[in-house]
Amino acid sequence: MLSACSAQLHGTCLGFEALAVIVSGDGRALTKFDSYDNASPLVLTEDGRNDSTFFGAFPPEVLRGLQEQPLAMENHGKGARIDLLIYYPPFMAGKDG
């Protein structure tokens, strides 16, 4: 018998999109983006800044650079719909979309 459990999953870009499609059961979890060849800094959420084991392991100067410099390459034709983020809150986002 299966029981409900809580687990953290990491999905970056296409991985996050794939998780959204798997959980929703169809492609309606994605929406059209127009963000090609766009470098941007990371935008950490409050949870990403305070509670993320992943980002917490970065040296402070590296984390600061990721947030201040356009180091994240955004190349998206589709992305997860914003209304799904209440179910799957991200720790960070880019400025694309």
Contact 88, 49 (CB under 8 A): no
3-state secondary structure of 68: helix
Structure confidence at residue 7 (pLDDT)? 63
For residues 73 and 96, give the distance between their C-alpha atoms in angstroms, rounded to a whole number. Answer: 9
Residues 7-65 have pLDDT tens digits of: 666 667 777 778 778 877 777 788 888 778 888 888 888 877 778 888 888 899 998 99
Q: What is the pTM of this model?
A: 0.57
Q: Where are the domains of the chain?
A: 14-89
Given a cut of 80, is residue 6 above it in pLDDT? no
For residues 31 and 92, give the distance between their C-alpha atoms in angstroms, rounded to a whole number. Answer: 19
Structure confidence at residue 83 (pLDDT)? 73
Structure confidence at residue 97 (pLDDT)? 47
Structure confidence at residue 27 (pLDDT)? 73
Contact 70, 19 (CB under 8 A): no
